[in-house]
A and B are shown apart, each in its own frame.
Chain A
């Protein structure tokens, strides 16, 4: 068992708290560029995810990687999360995992 390398649950508004650290986020893809994906986080903030998404990809993708700055992530792991997703529920989880229940995650 090892908890030395956690990935914090983040939305766009919480990304600034973990710059330089490992994070995980679910984004709704807006468009794909060369070497990056522009998406909308679960709190409706536009973020850039650097890397190569899976092919084929779904509308919602979970990315796990390092937060480069306030609005971009360098992704190491991409996971298709389907074309429908409860973004509000996930956003609430992000709030709780970085707030009152932070001790259960980080």
Chain B
């Protein structure tokens, strides 16, 4: 026999009033479900350290905290440039590491973008992460000079993501 002050848990939860049944449970509303995000195109601010530590999701490729990584943006200093006729390969160092980026030159606007960058300048790079035989590089869509006062905003944005 229960003491008057004892809590009878089985009686308290037997009605199931606040516990929805499996049949009526709503689907997961999280926008970051990797299985529903496989075709989404997100622009994700990252650091090179983050890219190095990326996990490989067998279903959808590379991901950060369950979000598929497709297009990324990072800010750093150009530390090396190799110009060829059809492409420009350069290294960007954001302080956490460096990554090789490739910008393919098809049109005048591409060559103008490439000619404007130089070693030692802060740039903002948009690109798609490529991993070939374990080596990660950035297939660059756009590279721009970056205003110094905004450098810290970009890094903080990558923290908030």
Contacts and interface: CB of A to CB of B under 8 A. Distances in A.
A105 to B, nearest CB: 5
Contact of B152 (A2, A7, A84, A93): A93
B156 A6 contact: no
A2 to B, nearest CB: 6
A1 B100 contact: yes
Contacts of A80: 148
Contacts of A86: 149, 152
Interface string B5-33: 00000000000000000000000000000
Given A64-B95, A96-B156, A104-B96, A1 B48 contact: yes
Contact of B137 (A1, A24, A104): A1
Contacts of A84: 149
A6 B97 contact: yes
Interface residues of B, number: 28
Interface in B137-161: 137, 148-149, 151-153, 155-156, 158-159
Given A96-B159, A101-B159, A3 B48 contact: yes
A48 B100 CA distance: 33
B155 A82 contact: no
Contact of B97 (A2, A81, A89, A92): A2
A97 B98 CA distance: 17
A64 B93 CA distance: 12
Interface stretch (B36-44, B49-57, B82-90, B109-117): B49-57
Contacts of B122: 79
A24 B98 CA distance: 15
Ordered nearest first, which 8 A-B pairs have the shortest CB separation?
A3-B97, A81-B148, A90-B152, A7-B95, A93-B152, A1-B99, A1-B136, A105-B96
Given A2-B98, A5-B97, 7 more contacts: A3-B52, A4-B97, A62-B148, A89-B152, A93-B156, A96-B159, A104-B47
Interface of A: 1-9, 24, 60, 62, 64, 77, 79-82, 84-86, 89-90, 92-93, 96-97, 101, 103-106
Interface of B: 47-53, 77, 95-100, 120, 122, 135-137, 148-149, 151-153, 155-156, 158-159
